[in-house]
Structure 1
Amino acid sequence: MLSLALSALALSASGATALSSKRHASLAQRMKSERPALRSPVWHGMGRDSTFQLEDNCQGSTFFDCFDYFTDSDPTHGDVVFVNESDAWSLGLVSSTSDQAFLRVDNTSTLASGQGRNSVRLGTKKTYDGALFVLDVERMPTGCATWPAFWTVSQSQPWPLGGEIDIIEGVNLNTVNQMTLHTGPGCEPNTPSTDYLAQQLGTTCASSDGANAGCGFLDKNTTSYGAGLNTAGGGVFAMHWDGGGVSIWHWTHDEQPCDLADQSGSPDPSSWGTPTAAWVADGCSPYTYLKDHQAIIETTLCGDWANSNYAAAGCPATCSDAVMDPSNFNDAYWQINYFSVFTES
């Protein structure tokens, strides 16, 4: 199954998977704003030049206070209905305990052919221009027809000019995580091979409708996505974006850095070692290509990428057929310990 997933994901790098970038289509457009001057990078053990302060902590019973609910039609053409806040709670698609939050796909309704299944897409109420984003999950959605993702995208620029950073993404039964950067023309990071651990899929980040593979990486560790992540008891994902570039890390809970595990101090990415994926500023200035990002957590169903990968993943019948049967989505839920955003000073 790993070989099937990797071959399907490699195909995506040439244009199939990054159809995820079409998720931008109905996002609000606002005016450009200036961005701060470049700063030296702080990852890869290159020395710390700033302090991280906790700006937002979304956890447990207050987790959903950080987010708005997206209710437009799915830009990736999925067989899904993204419900509003009231319906999400009344239908049991979102819930929380004192220390965890849950986002579910409906697994009770038998649907007619072509009917969309209810799900949830959340976007942060705030937007960010450079930050450290940390998502700690106990488990994530998995199964045929699913397309879960955690990502950031510009709210002030038409896609892809303001950029998109895919932190967790995959479809169907894929076994490893794909991380991708989508930008406007001219972004080609000259990232040394010693600066990342994953398999690099491409170096041209420029994207457009019909040519939107972006510049991606495949994690080599099967604990990074889907059933493998869930079996490992979840994990922690961190994305750091500043003037030096963008880096993404993934750890199991046992492997995570102490300054994240205790949640009591200021994290220090410079001490975390080589990231899983990295895009350096050389060849792609982050504050030129990435502006005013909202963080998004969602699960869509079928859609452009999941449809194209469905048979190769070994899933039965068709993706739309799978959506009709609620039992296919018993494992299609996020169980989230916390989402935090740190800014630098």
Structure 2
Amino acid sequence: MFTLPFSALALSLCASAASALNSKRHASLAQRIKSEQPALRSPVWHGLGRDTNFQITDNCTGSTFFDCFDYFTDADPTHGDVVFVNESDAWSLGLVSTTPTQSFLRVDNSTSLPSGQGRNSVRLGTKKTYDGALFVLDVEHMPFGCATWPAFWTVSQTQPWPLGGEIDIVEGVNLNPLNQMTLHTGPGCAPNTSASDYTGQQLGTTCPSSDGANAGCGFLDRSNTSYGAGLNAAGGGVFAMHWDGGGVSIWHWTHDEQPCDLADLSGSPDPSGWGTPAAAWVANGCSPYTYLTDHQAIIETTLCGDWANSNYAAAGCPGTCSDAVMDPSNFNDAYWQINYFSVFVES
């Protein structure tokens, strides 16, 4: 049984919902049929119903969280002012740590640096790769602040970028208040997604990406609890990404709003009952199994780099991004506090 951390209020809300459902069962057949129509189900979920079961394949939490990951130590592909440290250094420098129920990934916030030197940080990538799955990340706190660029995403490990695809699940820079979710692919992907398929703000429709033209096709979450300071003030939240033959969908909830089947994962999650996702890319026009292959899931925090540098002044951050990296006090909030990361496959 996999019973993972959840808020008492979330469990109470789930219990209330279960009680309401129990009462509803005593209604007339006609009333019950009408009341249980799947009005909240997203049109993205063609053919996926309650008879679809998900089996947990990776349960990364607490003291065993880091067993699921390898440490990336190459130069930052986004040209950040950062040094991604290896496993030994991450532990000895205090950039990673665990409790029985939580895991922490930090940017160094104790070392004053000379101009031009990158700051130590951590980038993790799953030891496994996936061709379709349900990914769930539950966090209490995420990195935030000027010069930061945190992300939770997946990317192909067998094809050069952008071939094989990239799915950005949680991403933002500097003081941005809203989460940005983006799909990057090779040539030919053009999802025929309609406005009823998602609740976020559509940012672009050109999914094929390349160096110098890599905006991808993205969505901005409309909730001010989806990223950064707003998410942290709300006590964190839960992100879920599902990728199958019908498309790719991403949801976000606060802990008090999360579905009951994510508040306690002893059963099988049922995405068909989660409502319309914040972001969705349907298979019509972009077959997921054609454009997305062999993905590794990544959790990281880089600093400055292509996006955070270009957004730095507009975000209202002082001085320059590179200067901000020199001062350790700018990174007191630059840490992930994670309850769990879990992966499910359909069975």
Q: Shorter-chain TM-score: which interval? A: 0.7 to 0.9
Shift of 1:47: 2.6
CA distance in 2, matches of 1:43, 1:186: 23
- 1:309 is matched with which residue? 311
CA distance in 2, matches of 1:127, 1:58: 15
Q: Aligned AA for 1:195?
A: D
Shift of 1:238: 0.1
CA distance in 1, matches of 2:63, 2:330: 28
Residues 194-205 of structure 1 aligned to structure 2 (within 5 Å): 194-205=196-207
Matched, 1:108 2:92: no
Q: Aligned AA for 1:82?
A: F
Percent of counterpart pairs with the same letter?
Answer: 87
Contact 1:42 1:270 (C-alpha < 8 Å) held by counterparts: no
Shift of 1:222: 0.8
Matched, 1:83 2:85: yes
- 1:168 is matched with which residue? 170
**CA RMSD, Structure 1 to Structure 2 (Å):** 1.1
Residues 1-345 of structure 1 aligned to structure 2 (within 5 Å): 43=45, 47-48=49-50, 50-345=52-347
CA distance in 2, matches of 1:264, 1:42: 26
Contact 1:79 1:115 (C-alpha < 8 Å) held by counterparts: yes
Shift of 1:192: 1.4
Shift of 1:45: 9.0
Q: Aligned AA for 1:160?
A: P
CA distance in 2, matches of 1:246, 1:268: 15
Kindly name which structure, 1 or 2, has the bigger radius of gyration based on alpha carbons.
2
User: How many equivalent pairs are there?
Assistant: 305
Q: Aligned AA for 2:218?
A: G
Shift of 1:44: 7.5
Q: Aligned AA for 1:43?
A: W
Find the residue that maps to 2:225 and give its secondary structure. helix
CA distance in 2, matches of 1:42, 1:262: 25
Q: Aligned AA for 1:344?
A: E
Contact 1:45 1:272 (C-alpha < 8 Å) held by counterparts: no
In structure 2, relative to structure 1, the CA distance for the partners of 1:191 and 1:48 (3 Å cut) is farther
Contact 2:44 2:280 (C-alpha < 8 Å) held by counterparts: no
Q: Aligned AA for 1:294?
A: Q
Shift of 1:204: 1.7
Moved segments of 4+, more than 4 Å: none
Contact 1:153 1:162 (C-alpha < 8 Å) held by counterparts: yes
CA distance in 1, matches of 2:91, 2:282: 41
Find the residue that maps to 2:344 and give its secondary structure. strand
In structure 2, relative to structure 1, the CA distance for the partners of 1:48 and 1:161 (3 Å cut) is farther
Contact 1:51 1:344 (C-alpha < 8 Å) held by counterparts: yes
Q: Deviations over 1:266-297 (max 9, x none)?
A: 00000101001000000100000000000000
Q: Deviations over 1:23-44 (max 9, x none)?
A: xxxxxxxxxxxxxxxxxx8737
Structure 1: runs of 5 or more not aligned = 1-40
Find the residue that maps to 1:133 and give its secondary structure. strand
Shift of 1:203: 1.5
Find the residue that maps to 1:224 and give its secondary structure. coil
Find the residue that maps to 1:342 and give its secondary structure. strand
Q: Aligned AA for 1:289?
A: Y
Q: Aligned AA for 1:166?
A: D
CA distance in 2, matches of 1:44, 1:314: 43
Q: Aligned AA for 1:247?
A: S
Structure 2: runs of 5 or more not aligned = 1-42
Contact 1:224 1:235 (C-alpha < 8 Å) held by counterparts: yes
Contact 2:46 2:246 (C-alpha < 8 Å) held by counterparts: no
CA distance in 1, matches of 2:102, 2:248: 28
Q: Aligned AA for 1:312?
A: A
Q: Deviations over 1:96-142 (max 9, x none)?
A: 00000000000000000010000000000000000000000001000
Q: Aligned AA for 2:329?
A: S
Q: Aligned AA for 2:206?
A: T
Shift of 1:46: 5.5
Contact 1:44 1:270 (C-alpha < 8 Å) held by counterparts: no
